[in-house]
């Protein structure tokens, strides 16, 4: 007679960290708020989770943009850390810091907000900001100057090489006796 297959996967053992992190990506606004229950469950289960949430463009935050809600303050109460990326050059360092935070000490969820203008290529963001239009009058020139500087700041340092070494994490492992 053959024994019944185990109910849990072979790699899963209660009380033993796997050394892996769960990753979820959700859209801004309703997508982020629909993830609240799952994030709280990950927090209570001490499961490392990286939640990537979309967000309105940086220039439109707090100005009534579609699906613009204060996501970072909401997740500060539920996660070990809640971060927002403000420039393209900060994507990799922020994600590295978030992963390390989720896995160090008592594991838990971390939220990273990624505004749409940080994720799109330079030429797309430039086009959306109206970079090819000829400004009229002093006000138009000032607005175009501001938008050009904003775009330069948003992408400054984006093409510089980034550290790609594995994260130096030490994950405590339970001994067989503790299991």
* Burial zone of 150 (CB within 10 Å; 0-12 exposed, 13-18 middle, 19+ buried): middle
* Residue 50: band (very low, low, confident or very high) from pLDDT cuts 50, 70, 90: very high
* Residue 75: band (very low, low, confident or very high) from pLDDT cuts 50, 70, 90: confident
- Interval 27-40 mean pLDDT: 86
CB 47 within 8 A of CB 109: yes
Residue 172 burial (CB count, 10 A): 8
Q: 171 versus 127: which is more confidently predicted?
A: 127
According to the 3-state scheme, what is the secondary structure of 35-84? CHHHHHHHHHCCCCEEEEEEECCHHHCCCCCCCCCCHHHHHHCCCCEEEE
Q: What is the largest CA-CA distance in the chain?
A: 87
Q: Which domains, and CATH codes, for the chain? A: 22-155 (3.40.50.970)
* Beta-bridge partner residues of 111: 51, 82
Residue 108 burial (CB count, 10 A): 22
For residues 50 and 95, give the distance between their C-alpha atoms in angstroms, rounded to a whole number.
Answer: 9
Residue 120, pLDDT score: 73
**What 3-state DSSP class applies to 174?**
coil
Residue 27, pLDDT score: 84
CB 110 within 8 A of CB 51: yes
Lowest mean pLDDT among 38-42, 113-117, 139-143, 155-159: 155-159
């Amino acid at each position: 007679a053959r024994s019944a297959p185990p109910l849990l996967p072979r790699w899963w053992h209660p009380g033993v960290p796997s050394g892996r992190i769960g990753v979820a990506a959700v859209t801004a606004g309703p997508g982020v708020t629909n993830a609240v229950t799952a994030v709280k469950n990950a927090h209570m289960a001490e499961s490392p989770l990286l939640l990537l949430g979309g967000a309105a463009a940086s220039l439109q935050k707090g100005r009534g943009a579609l699906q613009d809600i204060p996501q970072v303050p909401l997740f500060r109460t539920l996660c070990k850390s809640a971060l927002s990326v403000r420039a393209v050059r900060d994507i990799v360092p922020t994600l590295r810091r978030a992963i390390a935070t989720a896995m160090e000490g008592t594991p838990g969820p971390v939220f990273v907000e990624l505004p749409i203008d940080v994720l799109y290529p330079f030429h797309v963001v430039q086009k959306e900001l109206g970079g090819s239009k000829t400004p009229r009058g002093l006000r138009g020139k000032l607005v175009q100057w501001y938008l050009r500087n904003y775009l330069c700041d948003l992408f400054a340092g984006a093409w510089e090489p980034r550290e790609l070494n594995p994260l130096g994490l030490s994950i405590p492992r339970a001994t067989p006796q503790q299991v």
